[in-house]
Amino acid sequence: MLDKIQALAEYRPKYTDVRRRGKWHMVTTTGPPRVTIKQMAQFINENMPSLKAEVSEGYHSGDSHISGTRLRNEGKDYYGNRLIVTDTTKKLGERGYELLDHNSVEPYRTNQEIAQFIMGRIKCL
């Protein structure tokens, strides 16, 4: 599992030019390794005794604010997984208790952030 997490943390897409319908497009040739949030949470719980990882339901609303008013445009609601990593050596409310709060439903959030967090913690050990 560690090799998959390390590969995901170090992943950089490789692009190639493809001609479609008379136009050139940049297309990724290989995708990142598939490692789910639940697999990474299980890895953290098994291999890092000072950390505790919990997977819960995440939520994100696509509402947008109308400037100059108190109104919002209603957007689509999204549901998915949320990973919360806490330090078991610290108490609730203490600084540094919650180390990572990753809501995978939010736009532009990838599992690569979690993999980089894990690899950073392993290098510190």
Residue with more model confidence, 79 or 17 = 79
Residue 22: which region, alpha, beta or left (left: phi > 0; alpha: psi -120 to 50)?
left
User: 82-117 burial string, b = 16+ CB within 10 Å, else e?
Assistant: bbbbbeeeeeeeeeeeeebebbbbeeeeebbbbbbb
Q: State the average pLDDT over residues 23-32.
A: 76
Each domain of the chain, given as residue ranges in start order, spans 33-64+73-124
Q: State the average pLDDT over residues 28-32.
A: 75
Tokens of 8: 């995901």
pLDDT in tens, 52-111: 999 999 888 888 888 888 888 888 888 999 999 999 888 877 887 889 999 988 888 888
What residues contact residue 92 under an 8 Å CB cut-off, 6+ apart? none
Torsion angle of alpha carbons 102, 83, 101, 104, nearest 10°? Answer: 20
User: Residue 61's closest CA among 45, 82, 77?
Assistant: 77
Is it the case that residue 1 has pLDDT exceeding 80? yes
Question: Strand 77-87 and strand 51-61: pairing?
Answer: antiparallel
pLDDT at residue 25 in the model? 77
Beta-bridged to residue 54, according to DSSP, are: 84
What single letter denotes the amino acid at residue 78? Y
pTM recorded for the entire structure: 0.77
Tokens of 94: 């203490």
